[in-house]
Structure 1
């Protein structure tokens, strides 16, 4: 597969321009925000006009230049070409010529912990939400938790305006079946032993405020099926990082979402035993002919059943000889001992004789392209680990999607609107249209011509408030993996 050889297939969206009526006009009460949250704000006027922007609206259509976006309170009031949109008297007007604007990113695999290596997984109660928001990620699903009550507490603190961060949807602690990998229990994963245990687990976390359940690699079909059934009874959804169960098996059981794309699909490994995670399955993915009819069958069944998929390319890249150097901003965010460990890990991956890992990664990209071309809903998340940092890894996801062959506008859709669709929030989030919440990322440069410009975030609007990325990222210097 030649990266960059193919484009996306999204059809242009149509934006209706009007002055929104009937929706709440006021954003979050500025007086209710803590002093610290207010200290990160760059724009807090009740009415704001972003003028002369290059707009990627999240619907997947071509970018539109010379656009004006009017924000009133926490909502987008109007969107359109310069001169066609009425700018209210007294609005704070920002001339953003030379800037791209896209919807706030919706991270579908964005833990509130940073995984360095077994058994080190450090909660990011302080650094995580600031780094996500500063990079333009305005909504996250935790997608597996090692400290669920800390996640719940953080969610409440963000909602009350006590701390800065993205809006957070909670996933319960990882759930597995009993099996040979005791390391999983060491990481706080809960082992399901029978049907009663499975149903009680789901009901408990539904009552505690979790919206999603995440199953992990060591899970049986019986346990997964029971969890899915009970979760749906409770109004929850289920996603999984699989290995012991294949994608087609999980699809038949009624799962809602699958994580990591082809990387986590063991069904092409002919040595796999039922309900067992084979050590050879990733090698089988690397050797897979992507024209194998089984690949199309998997995708067809997922699409027909409405099973969404989450791309985590930035962390997948970290586990191959293609692993990039740590950037200057990575080095600023990580403490010295984590940097040293990362340098050592990179050296191992680059010198180990595993050329097949590159083939695996290329097949991963091809699978995601084929899934989208078949009509599948693909979203993305960073899965913060190994140097793929919160927010920064989300931006890298966008870059790799474009390198893989998606048009930039299609990649924006994957990073924003599709995540909102999977979370059931697409009436409020994910696209830049009148009436939706004003979650916007202002980027210096043109992300269509230079995808890496997505790293140049200058303002992040969440609920109509404009945050200063420099202040947010400066606050976490040396803190990721510690605090």
Structure 2
């Protein structure tokens, strides 16, 4: 979402699966190893309840065996052979889920009043601590900083999730978006894609004022180079994006100008999010046709309710962990903004608006759509790296999904949209050992998503509490 302002023929391509790097504990540098709790190479987690990411129900009293960086076995206690010499962890009373995949995440943080900072230290640690083992930086403000963080994590020099880096935001003509790439011709759009493909980006994110001709060129050029395209769109409707061959669409209901009666071709109506929220029907005829079109074209959608909730009147988000992670001045600005929203009788973002997001996402999933999720640490700053991803889990439960479905949304569906489902997203033998250990019964209580004890990435177990403690007071600074 980045900021809140209250005011041709489909291209069909086959994109190759993404190959993922992996690392062992022996390859980690001292800045990373200080957070390692379990090194392996062979580990058995016993007595756990498994929610495997496939959408299947919880399986109690399971054993999960990790060998090297892979899951070697999963099954009922007594039916799985624990290798000799394995480090055995008795985790009765714990739930294990796949590493979460953040599909609208950033390395930067935007707080109240437009405050913005790169979170090269705090963001990767918080993502990993929260159980988010893979992210897509869905829009980069400092793309070279993101690429360098990605490189440091892959070389074991810093702790953090797997990163799929998106190029800088690319939009159409708009003086208010001076920090973004603004393309005005299809050739400019193609040149932008070619350059960032060469620099190591794997996704392109189109932003609000992009026009149809330029977006068509972006999609065609990106697919030719093996890149995928997503967008927070406005000048282009969701239906137009589907017709052009976009792979993924961000935010859902509130940004779908298909619902805005003022919509004109290649123009973003003013205050469109407010208009959609006030007048759009998330389960009406337009919504049903749009959802079926997205499902038929296999266009995924990213839920970002965690960034919408803090901007919703009556939903003051005052999570203590989030407040402790913020720098003092950032926290002060955020709390002042929360108070101002609650006191404003004319504030446009309402509970009814948030409920419409939930209704639209339920309809999308019920129709067979692939819904993923991401925190989007922007807006007024109340959704931060990692903790906001966990809040997405709770909000999706509130929206009416059951726990197995939400785990699938938060893991396997993100992997599917990114083309990494052969390696990640579910707890199955042969897949990379990205796992989250939660104290308690997640199926019984959605708040258990916050009770992370150990996060495995590549079979290495990281201490969640140590990672969180290391960045307290840092969000909004570094």
On the 8 A contact 1:50/1:96 being kept in 2, the answer is yes
On the 8 A contact 2:283/2:360 being kept in 1, the answer is no
**Pairs within 5 Å for 1:139-150:** 139-150=134-145
Aligned to 2:29: 34
**Pairs within 5 Å for 1:201-212:** 201-212=192-203
Q: How far 1:165 moved relative to its partner?
A: 0.2
For structure 1, the 5+ residue unaligned runs are: 1-25
Aligned to 1:20: none
Q: Residue 183 of structure 1 is aligned with which of 176, 181, 187?
A: 176
**Pairs within 5 Å for 1:31-430:** 31-117=26-112, 119-179=114-174, 182-185=175-178, 188-282=179-273, 283-352=275-344, 353-354=346-347, 357-385=350-378, 386-430=381-425
Q: Residue 464 of structure 1 is aligned with which of 453, 456, 459?
A: 459
After TM superposition, what 4+ stretches of structure 1 lie above 6 angstroms from structure 2?
A: none
What SS is found at the alignment partner of 2:258? coil
What SS is found at the alignment partner of 1:426? coil
1:151-175 residue CA offsets vs partner (Å, 9 max, x unmatched): 0011111001000000000100000
1:189-245 residue CA offsets vs partner (Å, 9 max, x unmatched): 000021221111000000000000001111111111111111111111100001111
What SS is found at the alignment partner of 1:267? helix
Q: TM-score, normalised by structure 1?
A: 0.92
Tell me the number of residue pairs that the alignment of Structure 1 and Structure 2 aligns: 454
On the 8 A contact 1:438/1:462 being kept in 2, the answer is yes
Q: Separation in 1 of the partners of 2:281 and 2:319?
A: 34
On the 8 A contact 2:25/2:460 being kept in 1, the answer is no
Q: Separation in 1 of the partners of 2:317 and 2:375?
A: 17
What SS is found at the alignment partner of 1:183? helix
On the 8 A contact 2:94/2:440 being kept in 1, the answer is yes
Alignment root-mean-square deviation, CA = 1.4
What SS is found at the alignment partner of 2:257? coil
1:48-96 residue CA offsets vs partner (Å, 9 max, x unmatched): 0000111000000100000000000100000000000000111111111
What SS is found at the alignment partner of 1:70? strand
Aligned to 1:9: none
Aligned to 1:13: none
On the 8 A contact 1:114/1:121 being kept in 2, the answer is yes
Q: How far 1:286 moved relative to its partner?
A: 2.8
On the 8 A contact 1:287/1:360 being kept in 2, the answer is no
On the 8 A contact 1:27/1:73 being kept in 2, the answer is no
On the 8 A contact 1:268/1:281 being kept in 2, the answer is no
For structure 2, the 5+ residue unaligned runs are: 1-20
Aligned to 1:22: none
